[in-house]
Amino acid sequence: MLVFDRGLGGDGWASFAALESVVDDGDLWLENNLRGVANGVVRGGSGNLVMQYPPGILALDLVPFLAGRALDRCLPAEWMARGAELPPVGRVPRRVFLEAAAIVLARNLETLLGLAWIALALGRLGYDERVAAGAAGLAFFGGPLLFYSLVGMSHAPAFALAALAGWLLVRQRENGSARLALAVGMTLGLAALVRYGAVAWLPAALLAVRGGARQRLATLAGFAALLPVLPLVWHASAGGWGPPGYGGQMAISAASPWNVLFAPRHGLFLFHPALLFATAGLLAAVWLGKREGPRSGAATVALLWFLSIATFNGWWSEWANAGGYGQRFLIDALPALALGFAALLAAGRRRPLVRGLALGGLAAATAAGYLLFFAAVAGLVQPPPPLRWPQELADYRPLAAHPPGPRALGEGLRRASFLARAVFPQSGP
């Protein structure tokens, strides 16, 4: 996150435009705020262009947005007087750049918070610090968060909220607290105000909550408490009490979850092969769960969490994420998959050969996923036109036939990294 930069991405401009419209115009109509980027924007019943995403992301982004604006007022006028480049818009005024940069920094911090909550949850489940830290690190480097922690879209905060919900669930299962059950529900409700797909977490949460009907009702009440905000915002922006619309269509299909997991186009296990090891670790932990003390049942809940999110997103017609990098729609499942990583890292201590082979395969899979990420962000592989990102592993085939040399790698790093551009402003490293 200190090295690579992706700006607001494509969809991140919709929430940025909505926030700018609220602060500057006092409305949610975006015609004069888009700067030529129409990602994540639909025409509402009022006839105005509005953001298709739920409004929770605006609440999360308000503080960094205002901090960037305050920094612009404090800096000397000659600093960045010509503005700065902010893809895909191009050159923008200094104020806009600082507002966007503050939001991206908030995404970095949200990612770190999520990783910390994963490690804390694993610690409470009895894993030692090294295993917990290793599993949290693998959740970052082994999956799509590696890319989506870098952009001002809503995936990083959704991940952080998923990790927070997981940590609260682990604590709630220790004593059956109704207050913690309520906190779990409210966390899920807030997540649904950030990304609608967070509703897919609810079945696993209800299964995980310890206690009887009182605790489960508390979780449902917490989840529902924040949802009345949605129709109010929909009415204010689009003129109706229902959602203004969303790209693609939802349809229950037997093709899910296999499509998002194994499809040649952005299949999770093809673009992020380390997560296949995490899934194997989860399955093994479920099989051995009755002998795992405080971990008993946690792996079953995590597996349901993972499959619920995969199935729900597999029902969406846009499951392949053709306009983006990798299988970003399963970022919400990374806290669950981290438990699989932890189970794998902790297993086999009495069988060094088996453990060595498993860890070697996991390291190779993580490195392979990282190489796919770097080749894409560095522009070393050409995506099929008119798309901006590689779609299948076959798109990377030219790299195997003609591996890039040190000069090409250096130039690619400069394209992908603001730090490399600052240190080597004229030529590649």
**What are the pLDDT tens digits along the chain (429 aa)?**
989 988 898 889 999 999 999 999 999 999 999 888 888 999 988 889 999 999 999 999 999 999 999 999 999 999 998 988 887 888 899 999 999 999 999 999 999 999 999 999 999 999 999 999 999 999 999 999 999 999 999 999 999 999 999 999 999 999 999 999 999 999 999 999 999 999 999 999 999 999 999 999 999 999 999 999 999 999 999 989 999 988 889 999 999 999 999 999 999 999 999 999 999 999 988 887 755 555 668 999 999 999 999 999 999 999 999 989 999 999 999 999 999 999 999 886 667 777 788 889 999 999 999 999 999 999 999 999 999 999 999 999 999 899 999 999 999 999 999 888 888 876 544
Q: Terminal CA-to-CA distance of the chain, rounded, Å? A: 19
Q: How far is CA 237 from CA 230, 263, 361, in A?
A: 11, 37, 50
- 427: number of Cβ within 10 Å: 9
Kindly give the interhelix angle for 178-194 and 56-74, rounded to the nearest 10 degrees.
70
Helix (H), strand (E) at residue 21: helix 12-25
Closest CA to 80 of 90, 64, 93: 93
Would you give the distance in Å from CA 216 to the centre of its chain? 27
CB 283 within 8 A of CB 303: yes
What whole-number distance in Å separates Cα of residue 244 and Cα of residue 235?
Answer: 9
What whole-number distance in Å separates Cα of residue 397 and Cα of residue 63?
Answer: 44
What whole-number distance in Å separates Cα of residue 98 and Cα of residue 74?
Answer: 12
CB 195 within 8 A of CB 60: no
Q: Would you call 50 helix, strand, or coil by DSSP?
A: strand
Specify which residues 92 forms β-bridges with.
Answer: 84
- 397: number of Cβ within 10 Å: 11
* Domains of the chain by residue range: 134-375, 378-423
What whole-number distance in Å separates Cα of residue 368 and Cα of residue 23?
Answer: 43
What whole-number distance in Å separates Cα of residue 280 and Cα of residue 285?
Answer: 9
Q: Would you call 39 helix, strand, or coil by DSSP?
A: coil
Long-range contacts of 293-296 (CB under 8 A, 24+ apart): 293/126, 294/124, 294/125, 294/126, 294/174, 295/125, 295/126
Q: Which residues contact 205 (CB under 8 A, 6 or more apart)?
A: 165, 169, 184, 185, 188, 219
Residues in the chain, total? 429
What whole-number distance in Å separates Cα of residue 274 and Cα of residue 345?
Answer: 13
Q: How far is CA 92 from CA 71, 80, 107, 231, 415, in A?
A: 16, 10, 21, 34, 19
- 76: number of Cβ within 10 Å: 7
What whole-number distance in Å separates Cα of residue 89 and Cα of residue 100?
Answer: 12
